[in-house]
Amino acid sequence: MKKLINDPRRVVADSARGFGLAHSGLVRVNEDPLYIVRAAGVTPGKVGLVSGGGSGHEPLHAGFVGPGMLDAAVPGAMFSSPPPMPILEATRAVDGGAGVVHLIKNYTGDVLNFEAAAELAEAEGIDTRSVLIADDVALEHAAGMTGRRGVAGALLVEKIAGAAAEAGEGLDTVARIARYVAGQVRSMGVALRAPTVPHAGRPSFDLGEDEVEIGIGIHGEPGRERVRLGTAAEITQRLIVPVISDLNLRNGEEALLLVNGMGGTPLSELYVLYAEARDLLDRRGIRVIRSLVGNFVTSLEMQGASISVLRMSETLTRLWDAPVDTVSLRSPLR
């Protein structure tokens, strides 16, 4: 393992310190317990938006704290959700009296810890709503199962719900919009090489030189199948076809296309995927009206990418275009 770190157990704390120092105009880092809030403080009367989860997915979520998006981000240990107490304290810190929405990626640990934190917040009189993000089509829906993971679609939910909250919508409306967006976005990812969690010291899984893992999660979990590395066009096809068919996206509909890097893939390759995905959608008569390409929801230094498609409407387009000022996402987004 070669990493620019001091101590495997201090990576998250050391990184958060640097983040706070580098972006002090936008964010404030609370060190114990660890959470990140807007530098300007709580906005009275505005619904607060809190997200969080394991670290290692930077810039998610701390990079999206700021006007027009999140009020707080709660980073857990590497690839491990934060305990209830920091989530509770972040929730208290951003409650402007209008209640707080928790945006939760659908992982057992995240769900359990946010659930416990919401119970504690409610007991203190803070009105909370929970929204689950489960956009990964690599996993089948089945009764009694854990359900689909939340992956890069989280970014789109956070942006649009953030715009709704900033516009002054109430608690139930913000939660409803967030759930709606979560229901209209689907994603699928591919890994060419696994990430190495600092405290584990070795890659999360082993892949042969000519193999790729299709349908990976953002924690370095193996995916649903292992295939030979083909061309970018073949990989794109494998990723986007299940996305389109699960969304039931039809000829003539409008969409947002997000090509997200997992941390270890150059932008040039992400744009190769984007071009292939764009062609594929064009051929099906699906109009891509907004696009985003870059490393937004990463998996440490994992080599790979994910493709997300969000079905757009007039309202979602307006909310997507609304001003945003965060470390990693700034207007204009056209």
Partner 1 sequence: MERAHAVFAAERVALIELDRAIGDGDHGENMDRGMTAVAKRLAADAETSQETPTPAALLKTVATTVMANVGGAAGPLFGTAFLRAAKATDSVSAPDGELDGHAVATALEAALGGLQSRGKAEVGEKTMVDAWAPAAQAAREAAEAGGDATAVLAAAAHAAEEGADATVPMIATKGRASYLGPRSAGYRDPGAVSTVLLLRTATEAALELSAAAEAAAGEDAE
C-alpha–C-alpha distance, residues 219 and 151, integer Å:
10
Catalytic positions are 57, 219
**Which of 58, 135, 169, 221 is the binder for partner 1 (CB under 8 A)?**
221
- Contact between 229 and partner 1 per CB under 8 A: no
Judged by CB, which is closer to partner 1: 138, or 324?
Answer: 138
Least Cβ distance, residue 206 to partner 1 (angstroms): 10
Binding segment for partner 1 among 12-20, 74-82, 95-103, 272-280 (CB under 8 A)?
74-82
The whole-angstrom separation of Cα 332 and Cα 334 is 6
13 binds partner 1 (CB under 8 A): no
Interface with partner 1, residue 271, by CB under 8 A: no
* Strand 254-261 with 225-228, pairing: unpaired
Contact window for partner 1 (CB under 8 A) among 76-84, 275-283, 307-315, 319-327 = 76-84
220 lines the binding site for partner 1 (CB under 8 A): yes
Residue 39 is a binding residue for partner 1 (CB under 8 A): no
Q: How many CB atoms lie within 10 A of CB 68?
A: 20
Residues in the chain: 334
CB-based contact 164:139 (threshold 8 Å): no
Q: Which is nearer to partner 1, 81 or 295 (CB)?
A: 81
Judging by DSSP bridges, how do beta strands 72-78 and 100-105 pair with one another? unpaired
- Side-by-side strand order, sheet with 254-261: 225-228, 211-214, 185-193, 303-311, 254-261, 287-294
With helix as H, strand as E and coil as C, how does 262-306 read?
Answer: CECCCHHHHHHHHHHHHHHHHHCCCEEEEEEEECCCCCCCEEEEE
Question: Is 304 among the residues that bind partner 1 (CB under 8 A)?
Answer: no
Rounded to a whole number of angstroms, the minimum distance from the CB of residue 191 to partner 1 is 13
Distance CA 38, CA 27 (A): 4
- CB-nearer residue toward partner 1: 115 or 321: 115
Instruction: Tell which positions 137-176 bind partner 1, by CB under 8 A.
Output: 138-139, 144-146, 149
What 3-state DSSP class applies to 218?
Answer: coil
Given 11, 23, 35, 80, the residue binding partner 1 (CB under 8 A): 80
End-to-end CA distance of the chain: 39
Restricted to residues 45-64, the positions that interact with partner 1 (CB under 8 A) are 54
Q: Does 79 bind partner 1 (CB under 8 A)?
A: yes
The residue range among 154-162, 163-171, 185-193, 201-209 that interacts with partner 1, by the rule CB under 8 A, is: 201-209
Instruction: Examine residue 102 and tell whether it contacts partner 1 (CB under 8 A).
Output: no
Tell me which of 27, 60, 65, 78 binds partner 1, using CB under 8 A. 78
For the bound state, the minimum distance from the C-beta of residue 178 to partner 1, rounded and expressed in Å, comes to 22
For the four alpha carbons of 132, 156, 43 and 61, in that order, the dihedral sign comes to: positive
**Residue 199 interacting with partner 1 (CB under 8 A):** yes
CA 174-176-182 angle, to 5 degrees, is: 105
Task: Give how many residues touch partner 1 by CB under 8 A.
Answer: 36
DSSP three-state, residue 328: coil
Chain contacts with partner 1 (rule: CB under 8 A): 54, 76-85, 107-109, 112-113, 115-116, 138-139, 144-146, 149, 197, 199-200, 202, 204-205, 217, 219-222, 224
